[in-house]
Amino acid sequence: MAQSRLLADLKSLAGKSMVYGAGSILLRTINFLLIPLYTRYLTPADYGIMAVTTTIMAVLQIIYPLSLHSAAMRFYFLANDEDEQRRNSGTIWLAMLVSSLTMTLMLDLLGRVIAPSLFRDIPFDPYLRLAIWISFFSTLGLLPLALFQAKERPIPYVLTTISSTLLSIGLVINLVVFQRRGVHGYLLGLLWSQILFAVPYIVLTLRNVKLSIHLSALKAALDFSLPLVPHGLAGWTLQLSDRVVLQRFVPLGEVGLYSLGYQFGNIINLLATAINFAWAPFLYKTHAQHGESANPKLSRLVTYYTLCLCFVALGLALFVKEIIFFMAAPAFHSAYRVVPWVIGGLLFNGLYYVPVNFLFLRSKTRLIPLITVLSGLVNVGLNLWLVPRYGIMAAAWATFLAYGLTLALAWRAAQGIYPFPYEYKRLGLIGLTTISSIGLSIALQLNSMALETVLKAALLLAYPFVLAGLGLFTSYEKTAALAALRQITRLITLGRKGK
């Protein structure tokens, strides 16, 4: 019974993760297919401006809403009835709107004075001003998307985000490719897409909230969310601040190369985020229903998550050079050098979601900024120390080390609050096999790229069989995996016959 229940939960989680992931993968695939287009209509310097303005938008999207949308899902589950859920959500949305608009207007007025001291080669008008307003309109979608996630409705979530992104892509292509307006056109496309989609986001919000200000609910939400602002800023420091540091020490073209390489490495983060969207509400609900008695089942699911993430990270690390050479213009080919280190760092970040969710579960959000701020400071310090000497490779090394520190600190803090019985032996086997496989691939430096690619493919295919030989899988897991493989094979065969 326990095994069948575990399998049912695994299927439910996998199904929801696949919906979230399918939407993200679709959008990422479209963006990847646009790389050959963008790299021919935008210069590496344009990519540098895109990287810095994207960095600014990311930090403003953290500060503007005061992370109140993060409280929306938590307070959705704490509410006693639907009416209380709607009142709490309405209070949170109004507070987010007032906060975002106030800060946007202030930055628009003061930005021309502040910007020259922070950004050496990027003028405030039009680039930074556009980033400020794109960030404001993007906050209007945060609450309705958070409510979709809380209600475990991945399909409306994905359809909404896909529609918004496709609109922005269409506008960007028109302005960059057909009107030849460069990076200015790219930012204008993003702005107009956010403005146009503000209407459906507002409609979705008003359908799910009751507009009111309940001071007690607002205070509780702020107590939960405000510690997440420095946490979010530290996360920005970990993921994006390196581009701000780089633009001070290297040409914008080098910043563009690093940004493109990071874009490829970020695929691992895409997968981790998709699974986490399904995992977080599942964890809250499971714990509310079963308490700590569910820990053995949760521990097994964490092992599966780690295995999935490591397998994808290995595949990316093995083939990123070939992918970039195939997709990007020659001027961008050297970007592949930074990607393996970025992948390693973002793998650590994906694993960090596991312990940090236990801190969210216990409402210990005040501990989270301590972890991410310390790691962010380490990242900035390493960048300032090493980038002037080693350029963009130093930024990649700093990403790897800082995310590793984040994972270690989050695990230690969470174990002190919620001692969770991880399957350490199995996790160790997965980690060592992954590291060994990546190390072996690095040694495969051959003169023939075709032969090198074949050997890498063999190495990737051997990965699960090596783990099986080391005794990672139980007999039940082997049987379930073989059954799933037979079912997939049958579906493929039926599909071919149908053609």
Same domain assignment for residues 339 and 487 = yes
Task: State the pLDDT confidence band at 191, using cuts at 50, 70 and 90.
Answer: very high
> Tokens 């696949």 appear where?
18
Task: Write down the residue that tokens 């021919």 correspond to.
Answer: 40
- Mean of pLDDT values over 431-437: 88
Q: Which residue, among 288, 61, 29, 278, has the nearest Cα to 151 in the 3D structure?
A: 278
In a domain, 215, yes or no: yes
The sign one gets for the Cα dihedral 108, 113, 117, 120 is positive
Q: Which amino acid is at 467?
A: L
Instruction: Name the strand (E) or helix (H) holding 349.
Output: helix 339-361
**Do 201 and 183 share a structural domain?**
yes
Residue 231 lies in a domain: no
If asked whether residues 278 and 198 sit together in one domain, one would say: no
Q: How far apart are CA 176 and CA 164, in angstroms?
A: 18
What separation in angstroms does the CA of 76 have from each of 50, 147, 218?
36, 8, 13
Residue in the structure block whose two tokens are 């002190």: 416
Residue-range definition of the domain harbouring residue 75? 34-226
Rounded mean pLDDT of 277-304? 80
2-11, 22-31, 333-342: lowest mean pLDDT where?
2-11
* Residue 381 and residue 339 share a domain: yes
In this structure, the answer to whether residues 462 and 410 fall within a common structural domain is yes
Is the pLDDT score of 411 beyond 90? yes
Examine the domain organization and report whether 349 and 257 are in the same domain: yes
Range with the largest mean pLDDT of 13-17, 87-91, 135-139: 135-139
Say yes or no to pLDDT of 362 above 60: yes
Nearest to 351 by CA among 296, 290, 279: 279
pLDDT above 70: percentage of residues in the chain? 84
Residue 35's Cβ-side half-sphere holds a number of Cα atoms within 13 Å equal to: 25
- The CA-based angle 36-41-45, given to 5 degrees, is 100
> Which of these, 486, 488, 476, 482, lies nearest to 4 by C-alpha position?
476
Q: Are residues 327 and 268 both part of a single domain? A: yes
Q: Is residue 242 part of a domain?
A: no
Give Rg (Cα) of the chain: 23
Among 31-35, 48-52, 127-131, the minimum mean pLDDT is found in: 31-35
d(CA 155, CA 161): 10
Rounded to an integer, the average pLDDT of 177-186 is 85
Q: What is the pLDDT of residue 149?
A: 73
The residue among 434, 432, 157 whose CA lies nearest residue 280 is 157
pLDDT of 5: 56
Region 160-176 average pLDDT: 85
The region of weakest confidence among 79-88, 141-150, 364-373, 422-431 is: 79-88
Q: Say yes or no to pLDDT of 1 above 60.
A: no
DSSP state of 365: T
Q: What is the pLDDT of residue 19?
A: 52
Q: State whether 370 and 315 are in the same domain.
A: yes
Of how many residues is the chain composed? 499
Say which residue the tokens 């989050």 belong to.
410
141 CB contacts (<8 Å, ≥6 apart)?
160, 164, 197, 201
Domain shared by 490 and 367, yes or no: yes
d(CA 97, CA 356) in angstroms, rounded, equals 28
Q: Which of 226, 241, 275 is the last residue of a domain?
A: 226
Residue 232 lies in a domain: no
**What pLDDT does 33 receive?**
61
Letter for the amino acid at 72?
A
pLDDT, average across residues 227-235: 71
Residue 451 and residue 445: Cα distance in Å, rounded? 10
Within 154-181, residue ranges assigned H as helices are: 154-173
243 falls within a domain: no
- Long-range CB contact pairs, 91-95, < 8 A, 24+: 91/212, 91/213, 91/214, 91/217, 91/218, 91/221, 92/68, 92/143, 92/217, 92/218, 92/221, 93/143, 93/205, 93/209, 93/211, 94/211, 94/212, 94/213, 95/66, 95/68, 95/213, 95/218, 95/221, 95/222
In the predicted model, what is the mean pLDDT of the chain? 79
Do 101 and 24 share a domain, yes or no? no
pLDDT at 30 over 70: no
| 92 shares a domain with 25 | no
| pLDDT tens by residue, 241-259 | 677 778 778 877 787 778 7
pLDDT of residue 73 exceeding 90: no
Q: CB 29: neighbour CB atoms within 10 A?
A: 10
Q: Does 463 lie in the same domain as 333?
A: yes
With respect to residue 234, please indicate whether it lies within any of the assigned structural domains. Answer: no
Write out the H or E segment, with its range, that includes residue 124.
Answer: none
User: Around Cβ 157, how many Cβ atoms within 10 Å?
Assistant: 22
Counting the structural domains of the chain, the total is 2
Q: Does the residue 245 lie in any domain? A: no
- Is there a domain that residue 353 lies in? yes
Cα separations (Å) of 322 from 25, 250, 325, 494? 20, 26, 5, 33
